[in-house]
Amino acid sequence: MRIMSSLMIIGTAHVIDLSSSLEVYIRDFDPTCIALELDRERWIALQTNSQSSGGPFFLRFLSRIQKHLGDSFGSSPGSEMLVAGKIARALGADIKLIDKPILVTIRDAWKNMPWIELWRIIKDSIFSFVGRSDTSFGDSLLSGDFTEELRQFSVNYPTIKSHLIDRRDTYMSKNLVKILRGNHDSRIVAIVGEGHVDGMESKLSSLNPKIVRLKDLLSRNNNTVSFSIKI
């Protein structure tokens, strides 16, 4: 059955304030549904500004890095999801949470991780805690191009990439297809991290999705006037 619907995938960075350009792209597309790279637990945590101090070590490690990057760039991790949710409500669009539960994802990755990857995580976490960092990552955030970082991530952490990126690409793509099959007149904007865009675009190629990359948001963010949506 051919799905007669419209889909836009927007790649963001979870630690940069891109609310102005994000709102412009969403409003221009005029969606009936906004799909977020979140599960129910993370959506509630974002809305209540609460963070769990428990969970697997790797999850706490990722949360700490994300908060540090967000502080550096003047944005709270996940703020773009809150902005998208507020825009959805303003437009009368549905909000769909399309991601796999993060604790399940992390638990599966942790359980299948070889010792060499575990050692690299421990080593990298020690470097981050003592203040050593790679400035190239910050440069990539500002340019919107993570090609080299994703390549290195695939080499150094193949198991983690498989669980945190590849399998979630599949999971979120399947959920988008379900939404579209449920309503052929839907116009969906999916808000996901930039690292998911290529994989989801490939898996959803038959739908010919419109792609907005992080670099597009960054470029437009410097030349746009914000609407009234606040978080």
4: helix, coil or strand?
A: coil
Q: What is the pLDDT of residues 136-184, one digit of tens each?
A: 444 444 544 566 777 777 777 888 888 888 999 999 999 999 999 988 7
- The DSSP 8-state label assigned to residue 204 in this structure reads T
Residues in the chain, pLDDT under 50: 1-4, 66, 68-76, 129-130, 133, 135-141, 143-144, 223-231
The pLDDT score that the predictor gives to residue 1 is 43
The pLDDT score that the predictor gives to residue 224 is 43
- Specify the length of the chain in residues: 231
The pLDDT score that the predictor gives to residue 137 is 46
Dihedral Cα 164, 40, 37, 1, nearest 10 deg: 100
The pLDDT score that the predictor gives to residue 172 is 96
